[in-house]
Amino acid sequence: MEINQKQQPQKQEVQSRKRILVVLSIIVFAALVIGLVHQVIESLELEKQNELTQQQLDTAYNELDSMSNELDTRILKIAQLGGEIDTLLQIKNQLEEEKKAFRTKAYRQINDLQGKVSGYKEMLLAQDKEIVRLKAVNEKLLVENSELKDEANELNESLRDLNTTRSALEEKVAKASQLKIDGMKILAINSSGKEREGEFKNRHITHLKIEFDVLENSVAAIEGKSILVKITGPDKKVIFDVATGSGTFVFEGRENFYTVKKDILYDRNAQSLTFLYDKGSEYDLGKYLVEVYTEDYKMGAGSFVVK
């Protein structure tokens, strides 16, 4: 009886030590589980930032599953030793819930991401098709533009030819519309009114008489014309006196003098014109050139000699 009483405290002490050991094991293991759960939560947060791959998610889940298996082993051993396992069972249930939530959340994110990837792929394929279509349109437009350029070049060439032809025709018409003179006579009239033709002496020239016909021209414009007579002496100088009606005109881009002028109305029919000029002084000896102009072209010419 005394022995039993001594063994009783020893047994109680052993059981107490076991309970302490179990409690310490539970605390340590709980700390490990909490740390692991915290690590898993941090992994989930990191996963939001870095978009963990399927392999990484599987690895994390396998770690949780391995920890769950180890926890099962601990619970079984502690139960066999007669320790308290209620707390461990609660942790086990919490871990299973964390596993389930982790799995659901992780794979939902993967599925969402895969869905987005599929959507992006479809979009890219659609864009590829659009690119192919646009390339075909551009190639067609390039061909059409090339054809249009060829047509435009041909049209421009035709227009150039037409303009050249028109310019040539206009030049021919302009040249054909120029007035001409014929039958020029240059006479010297003395003080008694006697006329001489050909070569003159100064005493024969009181007045210089110039006659010619403006020829008929059916393509010339019906309009007023200024007929200019220019007399150039042997010294190559133009006989010029403003007091007797002389002036200037432009021929071939240069200013020229004329000796005498007469304004007429030209109606396309032939007209006979007569010019009288009184120099007022003697003529130098030699040959004189008489030219007739209108506007910017020469109508004809003649000459006389003073000896």
- What is the predicted pLDDT for the residue at 274? 97
Compute the distance between CA of residue 134 and CA of residue 131 in angstroms, rounded to an integer. Answer: 5
The closest alpha carbon to 32, from 55, 77, 66, belongs to 66
- What is the predicted pLDDT for the residue at 120? 45
Please answer whether residues 187 and 205 qualify as being in contact, where contact means their C-beta atoms are separated by less than 8 angstroms.
no
- What is the predicted pLDDT for the residue at 289? 97
- What is the predicted pLDDT for the residue at 117? 47
At 14, list the tokens. 């052993």
Residue 293: its H or E element: strand 286-294
Q: Which residues contact 145 (CB under 8 A, 6 or more apart)?
A: none
Please answer whether residues 259 and 229 qualify as being in contact, where contact means their C-beta atoms are separated by less than 8 angstroms.
yes
At 46, list the tokens. 């990191």
Please answer whether residues 60 and 102 qualify as being in contact, where contact means their C-beta atoms are separated by less than 8 angstroms.
yes
Please list the ranges in the chain whose pLDDT falls under 70.
1-58, 60-61, 64, 68, 75, 83-84, 88, 102-103, 105-128, 130-131, 134
Compute the distance between CA of residue 259 and CA of residue 144 in angstroms, rounded to an integer. Answer: 66
- What is the predicted pLDDT for the residue at 280? 87
Please answer whether residues 302 and 186 qualify as being in contact, where contact means their C-beta atoms are separated by less than 8 angstroms.
yes
Compute the distance between CA of residue 74 and CA of residue 90 in angstroms, rounded to an integer. Answer: 13
Helices (H) and strands (E) in the chain, counts: 3, 11
Longest dimension (CA), the chain: 200
At 199, list the tokens. 């070569």
Compute the distance between CA of residue 207 and CA of residue 205 in angstroms, rounded to an integer. Answer: 5
- What is the predicted pLDDT for the residue at 97? 77
- What is the predicted pLDDT for the residue at 300? 96
CA distances to 20, 145, 216 from 140, in Å: 89, 8, 62
pTM equals 0.49
